[in-house]
Amino acid sequence: MQPMLIFELLVLVAVANATPPVVKRVLGEAFAQPLDGGALFIDGRPLFGSSKTIRGIALSLVATPLAALVLGMGWKIGIVVAIAAMAGDLVSSFTKRRLGFPSSSRAIGLDHMPEALFPFIASRMLLPVTVIDMVVGTAIFFLGSLVVARALYKLHLRDEPY
């Protein structure tokens, strides 16, 4: 297990996932075009939902490489983590819509696991991340996000306390 590598990747995963809601708080609905354009899937439900915006994903793809540079990891790992985190978030949203969950609703595990696990898996392209690192990092993100979400809600940086 590599605690420092896990920590650095968790910082990047946190930046990638926190950027969209923070930007939403700062900019409100300005430039908040839904990624799916309001499209419906064959089941008649939204593809991803209105809370997944082009703005949020684009700014995550900018903020995460900048954070990686600050950590001395290089911008490429930041891009990989951001893309994988956003992909995990979209997989989660797509799955929740198929299960009938409304946009921004709570689904413990499904809300957290893909957006942490995907970046840990993808980072193996550039870093010596082990399976143990992936499991530990994903578990820490899952547990930490349950605690941090409440704090962000109290600070008015999240719409929901989860």
What pLDDT does 79 receive?
Answer: 98
Q: Residue ranges per domain, the chain?
A: 3-154
What pLDDT does 112 receive?
Answer: 84
Question: Checking phi first, is residue 107 left (phi over 0); if not, alpha (psi -120 to 50) or beta?
Answer: beta
What pLDDT does 158 receive?
Answer: 67
pLDDT by residue for the chain (162 residues), tens only, comes to 899 999 999 999 999 999 998 888 888 888 888 999 888 899 989 889 888 999 999 999 999 999 999 999 999 999 999 999 999 999 999 999 888 887 777 777 788 899 999 999 999 999 999 999 999 999 999 998 888 777 877 877 666 766
What pLDDT does 162 receive?
Answer: 65
Quick one: which of 70, 74, 88 has its CA closest to 126? 74
